[in-house]
Structure 1
Amino acid sequence: MKHILTTILSLTALTGALAQNPAPARPQERPIALLGGTIHTGTGQVIPNGYITFDKGVIQGVGDATTVRLNTDQYQVIDVAGKHIYPGLISPSSLVGLQEIASVRATVDSREIGVLNPNVRALIAYDTDSEVIPTIRNNGILITQAMPLGGTVSGSSSIMHTDGWNWEDAVLKKDDGLWLNWPGYYARNFDFETFEASIKKNDKRDETLRSLQATFAEAKAYAETTPAPMPVNLRFEAMRGLFNGTQNLYVRADYAKDIIEAVRFAKAAGVPKVVIIGGEEADKAASFLKENNVPVLLSALHRLPNRQDEAVDLPYRMPGILQKAGVLVGLSYGEEWWRTRNLPFLAGTAAGFGVSDREEALKMITANTAKILGIDQQVGTLEKGKQATIVVSKGDILDMRTNVVEQAFIQGRQVNLDDKHKRLYNKFKTKYGQK
């Protein structure tokens, strides 16, 4: 019996070792130059035959390769002729790193019990060993925003790199904003037995609003009290950044009326930075959003419209509609963590359905998102002085046929692009390739 148990434990350990993700990248050891590729800077500029140099994780130069001479003794020169170079893509409002298998409770750490949880932090739940992380990295997503779920006030999100030994290594920006599920007039329900969606009146709306108003009023008074109150109120302390502009208030709202009311609530509560999440009817409130300088992080575009009388391609056209109205737009996959790897193809869809050009669509998963999240001074574009978070693709990264990521750098570190999908592909290619 002892021998059998030892054998089982050995096999389990071996299987676990074989299934491990690749080790995080080592710090950049010498200056690197990518030479000859088509550079998409994320600012709208495209450099057909460009160069980009970076050292110690910071971009040193970007420009036309014909105008520069590089000392090959100084630089590790990588020939990327015929390839395309992009800023690392950014996935906002994501559950990547917080949820692995929905049906296995031990792998889900995206929500806490309770209604008002501003002190909950997604940061410390971020799992760098998630099998999902390498799969999104392989499509060019090098930065993700880990968001909390549940309750009315869910907690704070943090912005993470898709590489690191632990959350301390991976974090780019801690506690960037607080998440609010707006109590709308109507609640959407889905019946899994009939597979039909229904909408019913939210009977608890008034009660929830009164609770929210009281909480925000008390938190604002707490933040304005000097010296800081003692003992520390953890909930109100977590909300302090909302009122001094160092944190965003991310509001999940889809219906136009809910979007307008949520923004008015935030402004009245003294919150200067509001971001709408989801925004399925944002087109009906576009002028209001523009007037109040409120950006939108749209949910997955690859879906059907919510109303029977809406055009079937309305979700595809939504980014273009908002862009033309002057609203700052970013794209996300929201709670669909496994599908997050398809984020670049949302931008590709937007480019084909109304966004002015492909470089503007690229901004919706790079520069625009970086600006919305407050990290545009560090990432989002390929410019001198910014972090060397870079993707090299065989072709157009927004096209699923040519999005073949061959190299990726996070803060100058060249990351390993192995993942579970590749391992399974190679395994079964060998199996079915045998005669």
Structure 2
Amino acid sequence: MILIKNGKILTMAGKTIENGEVLIDNGKIVDVGEEIVAPLDCQVIDAEGGYVMPGIIDAHCHIGMWEDGMGFEGADGNEATDPVTPQLRAIDAINPADFSFKEAYENGVTCVCTGPGSANVIGGTFTIIKTRGKRIDDMVVKEPAAMKIAFGENPKRVYNSKNRMPSTRMGTAALLRETLYKAKSYLAKKEKAEKDPDKMPDFDLKLESLFPVLKGEMPLKAHAHRADDIFTAIRIAKEFGVKLTLEHCTEGHLIAEELAREGYPAVVGPTLTTRSKIELKELTFEAPKKLAEAGVKIALMTDHPVIPVHYLPLCAALAVKAGLDEETALKAITINPAEILGIADRVGSIEKGKDADIVIFDKHPLDVQANARYVLIDGEIVSRK
């Protein structure tokens, strides 16, 4: 049992406790408040007036898929040989020995949603994991978490170079629609065949992999930078009645009111980058502010390795510098991504019953000079400085 005391607790659950305590047992938060009665023999961590907050969450990255300091040997994020690969699973490619995981948890990033890149129209499934462990199966929080789809320049560029479809935005949308229609038809045939096994269609792993999307069990995770690509993603999601999260959303601030009316959440970023391609011409740290003010639920991302994952708090700080409310910025790297990813019952805030993923900073978490003095994952101290 561990008692954290003498800290300013940013619960991310609607309140801040100026001088509070957190009690942890068996990997879970047992209690949080101003004065907690704890066993005399429990381990005590003195926050020394620092900031105590839930572990930071990156809602969109590729950590472990492109390994730090490697070339082709560690690049396992894009199976760029077929534009439609829903059967791929990130869990089969993530290497937890990638040094980036250590950098992540040492700097307070305790949970990530990681998965395939954006070469393909349908890239495969993301998984949500804790950032410390030796075996990926033991790090999983949610698997599968979302089905990656991509619009815009990336699929066009990759498959135009191979003289294959898609080489246009029309082609990307058509391939996605065709695959979803086939999966919908295949699902209907399988359900009908439950009463008549002789009519069972031949097994198709690609289409089978899309069943959780069609059943509303997981969202499409839509890579879309440009406003028109964002609207195409929404159009197709509505056609099939499926869940959707908007990833990158670089031009989202230009259509913030429309997105607020649609009600889809936006995972914004990576913003700490150059405008390396045409569809990033509207890149700005003002986007999170404008989206949040319009009423869009936002999370911030690094898109690691585009931005190293442990710089996520810096991204939040720069969004604050551009006008985003500080509380909203903290939520955008804690409780908001947890809610968007469907894991808020476990992480994202300091509340009774949740996983004891906790970070103690010596300064405000969005201060560029802040150090993570203690990092706990599932109640275990994984880093101490």
Q: TM-score, normalised by structure 2?
A: 0.89
Instruction: Indicate whether 1:54 and 2:24 are aligned.
Output: yes
Give the whole-Å Cα distance in 1 for the aligned partners of 2:257 and 2:293: 10
Answer yes or no: is the 8 Å Cα contact 1:116–1:151 preserved in 2: yes
* CA 1:268–1:185: 2 relative to 1, 3 Å: farther
Q: Could you tell me which residue of structure 1 aligns to residue 262 of structure 2?
A: 292
Measured against aligned partners, the alpha-carbon deviations of 1:24-77 in whole angstroms (never above 9, x if no partner) come to xxxxxxx11101111111134211100111111111111113xx333313x222
Answer yes or no: is the 8 Å Cα contact 1:241–1:247 preserved in 2: yes
For residue 239 of structure 1, report the CA deviation from its aligned partner: 0.8
Give the whole-Å Cα distance in 2 for the aligned partners of 1:417 and 1:88: 14
Measured against aligned partners, the alpha-carbon deviations of 1:285-316 in whole angstroms (never above 9, x if no partner) come to 212221121111111222466999x999x611
Matches for 1:101-250 after TM superposition, within 5 Å: 101=68, 104-112=71-79, 113-149=81-117, 150-183=119-152, 203-224=167-188, 225-226=190-191, 227=193, 229-250=200-221
Indicate which of 25, 29, 38 corresponds to 1:70: 38
For residue 91 of structure 1, report the CA deviation from its aligned partner: 1.2
SS in 2 for 1:415: strand
Answer yes or no: is the 8 Å Cα contact 2:120–2:155 preserved in 1: no
Instruction: Indicate whether 1:252 and 2:216 are aligned.
Output: no
Q: Could you tell me which residue of structure 2 aligns to residue 369 of structure 1?
A: 337
Indicate which of 68, 76, 81 corresponds to 2:48: 81
Equivalences, count: 368
For residue 176 of structure 1, report the CA deviation from its aligned partner: 0.6
* CA 1:90–1:388: 2 relative to 1, 3 Å: same
Return structure 1 stretches of 4+ with deviation > 6 angstroms: 184-189, 305-308
Give the whole-Å Cα distance in 1 for the aligned partners of 2:167 and 2:89: 29
Matches for 1:311-330 after TM superposition, within 5 Å: 315-330=284-299
Answer yes or no: is the 8 Å Cα contact 1:44–1:359 preserved in 2: no
For residue 186 of structure 1, report the CA deviation from its aligned partner: 11
For residue 336 of structure 1, report the CA deviation from its aligned partner: 2.7
SS in 1 for 2:320: helix
Indicate which of 262, 277, 280 corresponds to 2:233: 262
Give the whole-Å Cα distance in 2 for the aligned partners of 1:165 and 1:386: 23
Q: TM-score, normalised by structure 1?
A: 0.79
Percent identical residues: 29
Q: Could you tell me which residue of structure 2 aligns to residue 277 of structure 1?
A: 247
Answer yes or no: is the 8 Å Cα contact 1:259–1:285 preserved in 2: no
Q: Which stretch shifts more, 207-216 or 150-159?
A: 207-216
> Which runs of no fewer than 5 residues in structure 2 stay unpaired?
159-165, 195-199
For residue 359 of structure 1, report the CA deviation from its aligned partner: 2.0
For residue 160 of structure 1, report the CA deviation from its aligned partner: 0.8
> Which runs of no fewer than 5 residues in structure 1 stay unpaired?
1-30, 190-201, 419-435
Instruction: Report the residue type matching 1:87 in the other structure.
Output: P
* CA 1:381–1:101: 2 relative to 1, 3 Å: closer
Instruction: Report the residue type matching 2:294 in the other structure.
Output: A
Q: Which stretch shifts more, 384-393 or 93-102?
A: 93-102
For residue 319 of structure 1, report the CA deviation from its aligned partner: 0.8
Give the whole-Å Cα distance in 2 for the aligned partners of 1:140 and 1:99: 21
Give the whole-Å Cα distance in 2 for the aligned partners of 1:107 and 1:352: 35
